[in-house]
Structures are given as C-alpha cells and as structure tokens.
C-alpha cells in the first residue's frame, strides 16, 4: 500500500466492515441529475429543495441505496448533505460512488485511493457501501493494478464492497481472479441495459457475470426517458440524451407493446419497463428527480411480469450497439 492509502486508513477506518454486499437492493436511486449541469441543467437554488423532498420520499418508501460519481458535477456534495441529515434522524443510507481512471493516472493505487478520499470528504462519510471503477476506456493501466487498488481500499475498511462499470466479460474475469487472490469478491458490474439495449444479455455478459457471482446493475433502464411515454415520433427526445439513442420509430414499437401490457396488468409503462430489467436478473439504477417519480418507480417492485409478457417484450426489444468506451460491455 502507498503511504497515501495508509494515511487514509489511519484517518478513516471505523471498525471491521463486511466483505460483500448483503441483501442487495431491488432498485438503486441514480443521482446524476442531482449535480450535473451539462446534461441535466442542475442549479442549486432551483433544484435542491425538490431533490431533498425526493430523497426523503425515497427513504420513506424503502429506497435507501443511492448511486453517484465523482464525475456527476456536485452530486456527491448534494448527497452528502442529505445523508448527514438523514443519519441524524436515524435513517440508514447506502452510497455507491465511482472512480474514473484517466490515461495520466500512472500510479493506480495512489490515484484510486486519493479519489476515494475526496469522494468520502464530499459525501461526509467515513466509508461507503460500494466503490466502482467507471470504465477502463481511458487508461493504459493493467487490470491487476486496478484489482489490487480496489482490494487495498476494501481491506482498509473504507468500502464494504467493490465493483466495476462498463466492463466486458474478459475484464470481469480478470478482475475477479485477481481479487480472489486477495480474498475480496467483485460485487457488481454496472452496464447500460434496457429494452432499448439488450447487448449485455445477447452477448452473454450477464450470464457470465452470474456464473462469476457478480451482480449486474443496469444504468439507463428507461433509456434516458425514452421508455417512459414522454417521447414519441412526433415528440422525439433531445439529441444530447446519448444513452438509449436508437431510432424513435423502433422505440415506438417497444412503447406500443409496453402500453398494451400496461392496460392488461394495470401497471404503468415505466413500471413494466423496470420490472422487465428486474426479471432479467439485473438491478435498475434509476434516475429519480421528483417525489412522483419515487412513487411510480416503487410500483415496479413486488410483482413479476408473466413469461408471456416477457417474451412479448423480447420480440420488440433492441440489441443496441457497443463501442470502446462506455458501451464496450
């Protein structure tokens, strides 16, 4: 371990943490919009009170796992203030955040531990539930270096579990095998997965992760709003919403099928789209911006689409694309 990591350990560690995630949540609250200006137009004076109401509505309805990142503008700071307030009145909150390795990060262990310390400071937390590597696309670092860096902060007691994002099968296997030599499990792999992008399933990544004991968490399970009924051929989504970016005419076929199922099972389009992701063995990471979103999303839990309904949605779903950065998983 580097001196920097040792120093963090001495400052932070507060008792022995469990080695892996237990009782993994059925749904994770995504907080990208809680601090990002470029895509979501976040403004503290305009949005903080609505975010606070949304956060506590989440807790009131059993959603206590929140996903953020050092890359999400001031999302970590926003979440940190809310978690501090929630802890003071007895709420338990689980936080997942992420480290982005860049090409100029030559000393991976030092860079990762330094980034984690900064995230913990912003989050006002001595440790967090899950620490993830965002992507391997912008780094020349060897996979075993990343595995060792994750194992170090886990064994130091700063994180309860470690995970990856956007990792393909080969990367997952390599990280799992190296972490095993350190006695640390790989808990999760967060990938883009929805009815608009089933590539992680079609490519067998999800099946391979299940064999490895790695939980798939699905970001953009509603394709950045495309699977909510908000957009249509006559009202297409903005171009800057890059995840789930498929021809709206193809997405319309999915929406039509979701609408038909919704009429039959008395659930909303959103609830059926999220339940589909859950039925496939993934945990949705859903961006939630209002208390109304909370109530609708909670309605996706506690029931199951029928085998026939899943097959009907499979029939109109899209494989989606891949590239060498965010979508190479």
Q: Give me the active site residues, please.
A: 72
CA 325 to chain centre: 16
Rounded-to-integer distance, Cα 56 and Cα 126, Å: 22
In whole angstroms, give the CA distance from residue 74 to residue 299: 29
Reading the block at residue 58, the tokens are 């989440």
In the numeric block, which tokens belong to residue 146? 């990343």
Burial of 318 (C-beta count, 10 Å sphere; 0-12/13-18/19+):
buried
Q: 148 Cβ partners below 8 Å, 6+ apart?
A: 108, 109, 178, 182
3-state secondary structure of 288: coil
Beta strands, E only, the chain: 28-30, 65-67, 94-99, 128-133, 159-165, 186-192, 215-219, 283-287
Question: What are the residues whose beta carbons fall under 8 Å from the beta carbon of 256, sequence distance 6 or more?
Answer: 316
Pair 223, 251: CB distance under 8 Å: yes
Q: Are 124 and 311 in contact (CB under 8 A)?
A: no
Integer angstrom CA distances of residue 92 from 37, 128, 132, 221, 299: 28, 12, 21, 25, 22
């Amino acid at each position: 371990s580097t001196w920097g990591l040792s120093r963090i350990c001495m400052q932070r560690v507060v008792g022995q943490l469990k080695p892996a995630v237990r009782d993994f949540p059925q749904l994770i609250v995504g907080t990208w919009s809680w601090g990002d200006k470029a895509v979501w137009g976040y403004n503290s004076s305009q949005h903080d009170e609505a975010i606070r109401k949304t956060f506590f509505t989440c807790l009131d309805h059993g959603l206590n796992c929140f996903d953020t990142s050092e890359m999400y503008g001031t999302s970590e700071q926003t979440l940190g203030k809310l978690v501090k307030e929630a802890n003071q009145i007895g709420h338990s909150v689980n936080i997942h955040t992420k480290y982005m390795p860049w090409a100029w990060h030559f000393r991976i262990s030092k860079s990762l531990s330094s980034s984690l310390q900064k995230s913990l400071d912003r989050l006002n937390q001595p440790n967090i539930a899950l620490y993830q590597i965002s992507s391997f696309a912008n780094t020349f670092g060897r996979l075993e270096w990343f595995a060792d860096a994750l194992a170090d902060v886990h064994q130091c007691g700063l994180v309860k579990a470690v995970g990856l994002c956007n990792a393909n099968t080969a990367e997952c296997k390599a990280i799992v095998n190296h972490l095993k030599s350190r006695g640390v499990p790989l808990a999760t792999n967060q990938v883009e997965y929805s009815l608009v992008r089933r590539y992680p399933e079609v490519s067998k990544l999800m099946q391979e992760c299940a064999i490895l004991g790695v939980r798939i968490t699905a970001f953009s399970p509603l394709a950045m709003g495309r699977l909510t009924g908000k957009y249509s051929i006559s009202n297409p989504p903005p171009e800057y919403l890059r995840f789930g970016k498929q021809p709206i005419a193809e997405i319309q076929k999915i929406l039509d099928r979701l609408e038909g199922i919704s009429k039959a099972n008395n659930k909303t389009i959103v609830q059926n789209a999220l339940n589909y992701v859950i039925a496939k063995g993934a945990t949705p990471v859903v961006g939630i911006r209002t208390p109304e979103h909370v109530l609708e999303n909670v309605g996706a839990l506690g029931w199951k689409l029928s085998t026939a309904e899943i097959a009907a949605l499979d029939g109109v779903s899209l494989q989606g694309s891949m590239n060498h950065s965010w979508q190479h998983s």
